[in-house]
Copies of this chain bind each other. A is one copy, B any other.
Amino acid sequence: MEETKKVKVLVVDDHPLMRVGIAAIINATPDMTAVAQTGSGEEAVKLFDQYRPDITLMDLRLPGMSGVNAIRTIRSRHAQARFVVLTTYEGDEDIHQALAAGAQGYMIKGMPHEALIDALRRVHAGGRFLPQPIKLALASRTPDADLSSRERQVLALLVGGKSNNEIAAELGITEATVKCHVSVILRRLNVSDRTQAVVVALQRGLLHL
């Protein structure tokens, strides 16, 4: 068995136990090896520079720098870098962001681990890998889902449970303007009041608690 031919994988996940499991699966595959692992996005960037893995297996929910930002940062320096995102399914927004950032594969924690190896193989071969449910979630995305930055700002405050008045104070604008933004947000998210807006924002992963 020639070591140099093994596919080098960098594992990024904030759960140590999960990293152990992933590494075990990868290292049990004869032509793959987990060369390094970490629980932080910042360290992932450093480790990538150091080990130049063929594929990076990346969780999105990380303390500090998010997985998406880590992908963006690494890709800005290494355009050929390939990523498989590994996460518990948390709404279509995460998926969309990750793919936009340059991920080639998406794997859901909780799928049988053969699927993980399959995904790694396909992505390493230059292809893509998206599970069926992920494809469906992306297909059902309406383009209206993209809010302006100001609207996302207001939505964040809505999720914080703020009233129109408080939001106005916090943003230094009038309540009338806030109402206007809220109305637009409701239309874009296709809901009829702020409570529903909060629920779908959390469901779709537009914001995190």
Contacts and interface: CB of A to CB of B under 8 A. Distances in A.
Interface of A: 14-22, 24-25, 39, 88, 109-113, 116, 158-161, 163, 191, 193-196, 198-200, 202-203, 209
Contacts of A15: 18, 88, 109-110
Contacts of A158: 195
Number of this chain's copies in the assembly equals 2
> Would you call the interface of chain A mostly helix, strand, loop, or mixed?
helix
B18 A25 contact: no
Contacts of A163: 193
Contacts of A18: 15, 17-18, 21, 109
A18 to B, nearest CB: 5
Contact of A109 (B17, B25, B116): B17
A191 B162 CA distance: 11
